[in-house]
Amino acid sequence: MPPAISDGSHSDVSPAVEVSNLTFSYPELDGSPAPGSEPVVQDMSMQLLPGQRCLLIGANGAGKSTLLRVLAGRHMVPSGSVRVLGQSPFHDTQLTASGDMSYIGGSWDRDIAFAGYSVPLQGDFPAGQMIRNVPGIPADRVERLMKVLDVNPEWRMHQVSDGQRRRVQLCLGLLRPFKVLLLDEITVDLDVLGRADLFEFLREECEDRNVTIIYATHIFDGLDDWPTHVMYLARGKLQAFQPVETFPQIREGDLLGLVCGWLSKEREFNKADGRLPDGTKAVAADQDLKLASWNNGWAGGRLASSIKHSSNAVLR
């Protein structure tokens, strides 16, 4: 396991993203973390400057999505612990409303009362109409993005494939000229060429417009020379955060090998420390399982509830 280190770069330019001693736990219904639980993000500090692109790496359950959602202002944290473009993303909704910060998460869905949670966005409307109707976007940017993402304006949103829906989601998320972009593994449904075109577009955005990007992924194909920085999380802690040129393996085009090495060491560490593969502490077999104080909601006629110390259980 590499030691926690900081980028070490010093600059007079204000950071685009700044995290200072951030600790975050998911609250239970009473607003406090489950007693005895480890925070999902622990004592993290890092900063990225305009123009930098960072890959966010970590095993399943490491806390990547949680960190991105905190940066995107989806969870309340003390205002000094996260600054995006100098603002607190939770407290300053203008960051998102203005389009200066864009967050594109893994799924594109919405909760519909009495119908269910996580309903994929669908409806008989053409993709081109949705995209071209977003006000205030220069026409050349709209057409360029539709070309990069190969979006057919005639696609009807109730008939598209998962990959086509993802392309429309990305197109809408990238439409406004953001300054900070947070991407949570959004390329799983894209074909190889679509993914390559997208990353080329994002690189140009950084180089031409000086934007900052953090991208969480498990897919490293073709990414060796894309990031300027790499950030590795394990058990909620920042294990490494460095410019790519400081990693000989990345310079030699073996980003995947570097990541596999980190994850294998992490797996051995978890085993030796009596932890589950996701890094959480294993619970003794004789410990009572208690229903947690949260329910995840009704979906498809089932009540999905979380049971403490277990994977999600479903009560029918």
Residue 62 binds ligand ATP (CB under 6 A): yes
Nearest-angstrom CA–CA distance, 274 and 206: 42
Tell me if residue 291 falls in helix, strand or coil. Answer: strand
Instruction: Identify the residue among 65, 164, 212, 239 touching ligand ATP (CB under 6 A).
Output: 65
Instruction: Identify the residue among 6, 13, 26, 302 touching ligand ATP (CB under 6 A).
Output: 26
Closer to ligand ATP by CB, 86 or 277: give it: 277
Stretch that binds ligand ATP, among 59-67, 73-81, 171-179, 265-273 (CB under 6 A): 59-67
Instruction: Identify the residue among 15, 39, 50, 58 touching ligand ATP (CB under 6 A).
Output: 58
Q: Which of 103, 44, 92 is CA-nearest to residue 69?
A: 103
Contact 146, 225 (CB under 8 A): no
CB of 63 to ligand ATP, least distance (A): 4
CA angle 305, 310, 314 (to 5 degrees): 30
Stretch that binds ligand ATP, among 54-62, 82-90, 152-160, 242-250 (CB under 6 A): 54-62
Tell me if residue 72 falls in helix, strand or coil. Answer: coil
Residue 60 binds ligand ATP (CB under 6 A): yes
> Which conformational region is residue 188 in: left (phi greater than 0), alpha (psi within -120 to 50 degrees), or beta?
alpha
Nearest-angstrom CA–CA distance, 91 and 71: 11
Note the residue count of the chain.
Answer: 316
CB of 28 to ligand ATP, least distance (A): 9
Closer to ligand ATP by CB, 204 or 278: give it: 278
Residue 64 binds ligand ATP (CB under 6 A): yes
CB of 37 to ligand ATP, least distance (A): 9
Residues binding ligand ATP: number (CB under 6 A) = 12
What track of x and - describes contact with ligand ATP for positions 240 through 279 (by CB under 6 A)?
--------------------------------------x-
Residue 195 binds ligand ATP (CB under 6 A): no
How far is the CA of 303 from the CAs of 66, 111, 112, in angstroms?
A: 24, 14, 15
Residue 40 binds ligand ATP (CB under 6 A): yes
**Residues 6+ away with beta carbon under 8 Å from 8:** 242
Tell me if residue 298 falls in helix, strand or coil. Answer: strand
Work out the number of other CB atoms within 10 angstroms of the CB of residue 203. 16
**What is the β-pairing status of strands 53-57 and 212-216?**
parallel
Q: Which of 199, 230, 213, 184 is CA-nearest to residue 16?
A: 213
H or E element, residue 23: strand 17-24
Residue with tokens 């420390």: 273
CB of 26 to ligand ATP, least distance (A): 3
Residue 194 binds ligand ATP (CB under 6 A): no
CB of 77 to ligand ATP, least distance (A): 14
Nearest-angstrom CA–CA distance, 151 and 160: 11
Residue 239 binds ligand ATP (CB under 6 A): no
Residue 61 binds ligand ATP (CB under 6 A): yes
CA quadruple 273, 277, 281, 284: dihedral sign: negative
Stretch that binds ligand ATP, among 11-19, 57-65, 150-158, 261-269 (CB under 6 A): 57-65
Residue 173 binds ligand ATP (CB under 6 A): no
CB of 279 to ligand ATP, least distance (A): 8
Query: Which residues would be at the binding site for ligand ATP (CB under 6 A)?
Result: 26, 40, 58, 60-66, 278, 280
